[in-house]
Structure 1
């Protein structure tokens, strides 16, 4: 079910964004692309208030401060997953291998931009250079072309795609609870 939801979201996104009409602008024309600040690993903990995003798809650890506010798009700058697009619902620390998109223009809905970039994640990943530790140059990301339709249309698209994303998240939570329940019941059978 979860894979079906994610596949459905991906297919619908592709269909929407391949047929959308609007102004074609470079990413740097509608937001600031800000590279994060590196934190020495010895200052990270396994739990804490603010997660640290670097070049991966999961947090590198946790830190006592944040340098990027909630509801911000981040794009992995370096490593094997460079180009990974993420929407951060909470404040976080953007590390040295992470870009955050800030000061998004008033004509652009933040969630629309996230869904658009997420649907173009493969193209963003192709911007990488290097082989040992691949990375995406800020200048290349700045020139990434983005389609910006009317604001009302952006809201409609982002609301719809966000609901599909939430459906997948809910299904995953249900699955996790059911697996825990199954484990508990199996343990009770053999007491």
Structure 2
């Protein structure tokens, strides 16, 4: 039984550490993450070929809640780890969002949510124009850079990753049809990995 448990734990680690791989077409515009965040002053906005890219992503802080203030329910609370530590009876985001853990050993952890959840001690990111940038595609791009994001952790006692630490991440923006195709292919790959 113990050897089976080790195999199961090993399989879980493979899935948890999976990162998508992308072939980047040289014709796609590549922008910096910091240049496409809404309501942010940008010094190099004029360098972007397509001005509609200047306000593609909304970034918000979660609203702090802890196990003592949460009201028992079935809505997962997303905080600083790679799993939901407890639940609540209401949500503050409805889904199709990305969370990035801001503190702790997993500071910088990228997580996609397609159902209602309560974002607590994390940053929430989503596209405001799904006709130009799919949130799920953005998730896969950020997830492909997961190790780079982990390397941006700072602080010895309580590691943290701030949104400003991610501003230089490169985000390729292919045509919408290409984004949809990549999302579908990566979803199939991940589903296959989970069934192995």
Which of the five TM-score ranges fits, normalised by the shorter chain? 0.7 to 0.9
Gaps of 5+ in 1: 173-191
Is the helix fraction higher in 1 or 2? Answer: 1
SS of the residue 1:152 aligns to: helix
Q: Where does the alignment leave 5 or more consecutive residues of structure 2 unmatched?
A: 1-6, 37-55
Q: How many residues align?
A: 164
Distance 1:73 1:131 in 2: 26
Query: Does the 8 Å contact 1:34/1:102 carry over to 2?
Result: no
Matched, 1:166 2:183: no
Q: Any conservation in 1 of the 2:127–2:134 contact (CA below 8 Å)?
A: no
State the alpha-carbon separation in 1 of the partners of residues 15 and 187 from structure 2. Answer: 11
The CA RMSD measured in Å over matched residues stands at 2.5
2-structure distance, mates of 1:60, 1:44: 11
TM (norm. structure 1) is: 0.75
CA-to-aligned-CA distance 1:106-132 (integer Å, 9 cap, x gap): 311122111111111111112221111
Does the 8 A contact of 1:82 with 1:134 survive in 2?
yes
TM-score, normalised via structure 2 length: 0.74
Q: What is the rounded CA distance, in whole Å, between the counterparts of 1:167 and 1:48 in structure 2?
A: 32
Aligned pair partner of 2:64 in 38, 41, 47: 38
Counterpart in the other structure of 1:146: 171
The structure with the larger Rg is 1
